[in-house]
Every structure is written in structure tokens, then in C-alpha cells.
Amino acid sequence: MEDGAGVSRARNLDRTVHAVLTVGLALSTALMATGLLLDWWRGREIPHYVLPLSEALARTLAGRASGFFSLGLLVLLATPVLRVAASVVAFLIERDWRYALVTLAVLGVMITSVLLGRG
């Protein structure tokens, strides 16, 4: 049975994970909605592909809808990875070495998949 401190730590982890997911979803939605509004305003067609990160950033800074769309999708895809990274940090703070190690392995698999999947 968990003590009061254990329950408190679990709640803190839940809050951290919830915050990461909420911020990621909100930011992604805002970026894609901005891209949609820009395309609607300018009477253009919505892009059908995702730009590389550097190009998405450049186009976003230039106010181009395709940059907002791509950046929004990239943020949405990065959100689960950030959630796992936040969990690693939370487990390390809690000194829960076993869960930190397992979660770090999951993070490693996710990052490796992204790097090997470029192609």
C-alpha cells in the first residue's frame, strides 16, 4: 500500500504528463488553425505534405500557411515523445530507478525510430 508521499508523487507525475499533452495539443491545434485561416484568407489550397523542420520554421516565420501546417503536425508528432521524456525526468526525481530505466529505453526506441525512419 502506498503512503501519502507516494500518492502525492503519483499525482505530480500525472499532472506533469497531463500538462505536456495539453500544451502539445493546444500548440499543435493553434498552429494548424493559423495555417488553415491563412490559406482560407489567401484563397489557397491546403498543403498535402509535411515539410522538414527547418523549412517549416522558415516558412512559419515568413507567415506562410504551409509552415504553420507542417509545424503544427510536427509538434503533434513530438508530443508523445516529450511526454515520455517528461516521465523519465519525473521518475528520476522520484528516484524510481526501475521505471526511469524502462521509460528511458522506450524513449530511446522512439528516438531511434524517428532517426531511422527518415528516408
Give the DSSP letter string of 64-96. -HHHHHHHHHHHHHHHHHHHHHHHHHHHHHHT-
Rounded CA-CA distance 73/108 in Å is 21
Average pLDDT over residues 63-78: 90
Looking at every residue in the chain, the average pLDDT score rounds to 85
- Cell output for 15: 499532472
50, 73 contact by CB (below 8 A) = yes
Q: What angle do CA 38, 43, 44 make, to 5 degrees?
A: 80
Residue 77 has pLDDT above 50, yes or no: yes
pLDDT at 1: 45
Residue 66 has pLDDT above 60, yes or no: yes
